Amino acid sequence: MPESKHVTQDYFAELHVAGLLANAGWNVYFPHRDKGMDFIISKTGPDGREIIRPVQVKGKYPTSDKSNKTVYGYVGKLNQIHPEMVLAIPFFAAAEIGSPLFVAYMPFSRIKKHSRGYRCEPATFTNGKPGPRRDYKKYYDANGMAILERPGWAAGSE
């Protein structure tokens, strides 16, 4: 894939996720320099305390020749990590242009060390389309955004 297309897709994915979070009531703050976290979100929680979470967005853009996978998601470097971070993974369908099929909002506790950096694979990939893995469904779309507010979210004890 040409570099310019990849950069354009990444920018779209970041703005798409930021827009979804803003629509869910989160305040979104973009950095002056993109050297790690893509943006920061904040929201007053149900207990009146301010919730602040750094967000990294890593879109998945499969090609039409992508083979079936029982585990699928992000494997690679993360420029910065933080115990309260959100790894937002928008999943796109192969050979389709447009919005992602769904977005996973993953807590740091679900991100593991890997020889290429880190891995977080909350999906499967079958017949040209990703799908949520059973044990990770709670982290997707509106459900995933809702549990971002819970006190135990970062530790995976939501």
- Going from N- to C-terminal start, the domains of the chain cover 3-63+80-110+134-147
- Residues 6+ positions from 21 with CB-CB distance below 8 Å: 28, 41, 55, 145
How far is it, in rounded angstroms, from Cα 61 to Cα 20? Answer: 19
Q: Which fold has domain 3-63+80-110+134-147?
A: Trna Endonuclease; Chain: A, domain 1 (3.40.1350)
pTM over 0.85: yes
* Contacts of the segment 154-158: beta carbons below 8 A, 24+ positions apart: 154/83, 154/84, 154/85, 154/107, 154/108, 154/109, 155/107, 155/109, 156/107, 156/109, 156/110, 158/107
What pLDDT score does 65 carry? 87
- Look at 15-19, 43-47, 80-84 and tell me which has the smallest mean pLDDT: 43-47
pLDDT greater than 60 at residue 80: yes
pLDDT at 151: 82
Residues 51-65 have pLDDT tens digits of 999 999 999 999 888
pLDDT in tens, 14-34: 999 999 999 999 999 999 887
